[in-house]
Chains A and B, each alone.
Chain A
């Protein structure tokens, strides 16, 4: 099973600041199979990024993804109030797994 480790566990930032979230895989994975989700309290997750760097429909361009091999990142260029949430990476291999999540909270 591929383990995804996200860091940091919590990111405390102010609106307007840049957020950089990390997702590290226990073994190399194809960028094709790496996705990111946002989850707000009481809601189902929402697809943000697929294929490591492609934004899903309706996702603002302040969200960007990158990386390859074992190291992937999600960047939010300027945090808006609605961006404070928990973010998960997922690898979609033969046995998909999720990272444990990074909480982006208001400083």
Chain B
């Protein structure tokens, strides 16, 4: 069965960096783009970007350009999201999610369990 298992919770100081991992299993990792979505406490979903695990190509939301880097290691079927220069308003749950492209359209069909990143001095 398809599973996305993310790394554990992190506590960081303002200005630091965080790197969250997302290990995929149950399918061919390089066949599906991976998206990253975050959710601040009590707030809605915010799209951050995607990575093509096959080519390593990326597309980031404009508001994260220059601060986020998405990478992958195909040998261990794992995607990574690194966010730099953390601020208190980066405190959120970070999700990875696989996108499936069906005949009628795309959708994020499998999600990781989420990783809570807390930014606090």
Whether, in the assembled complex, B89 has its beta carbon less than 8 Å from a beta carbon of chain A, the answer is no
* Chain A contacts for B114, CB-based, 8 A: 44
Q: How far is the CB of B100 from chain A (nearest CB, A)?
A: 8
- CB pair B111–A44 under 8 Å, yes or no, is yes
| Interface 9-mer from B42-50, B69-77, B78-86 | B42-50
- CB pair B47–A35 under 8 Å, yes or no, is no
Chain A contact-residue range equals 20 to 34
- CB pair B107–A50 under 8 Å, yes or no, is yes
* Chain B contacts for A94, CB-based, 8 A: 59
Alpha-carbon distance A99/B47, docked complex (angstroms): 11
Q: How far is the CB of A65 from chain B (nearest CB, A)?
A: 10
Alpha-carbon distance A39/B97, docked complex (angstroms): 14
Alpha-carbon distance A33/B112, docked complex (angstroms): 22
Alpha-carbon distance A1/B37, docked complex (angstroms): 16
Contact of A44 among B44, B46, B105, B112 (CB under 8 A): B112
Q: How far is the CB of A60 from chain B (nearest CB, A)?
A: 17
Contact of B106 among A33, A46, A101 (CB under 8 A): A33
Q: How far is the CB of A1 from chain B (nearest CB, A)?
A: 7
Alpha-carbon distance A44/B95, docked complex (angstroms): 8
Alpha-carbon distance A50/B109, docked complex (angstroms): 10
Whether, in the assembled complex, A7 has its beta carbon less than 8 Å from a beta carbon of chain B, the answer is no
Residues of B within 8 A of A (CB): 35, 37, 44-47, 59, 61-62, 95, 97, 99, 102, 104-109, 111-114
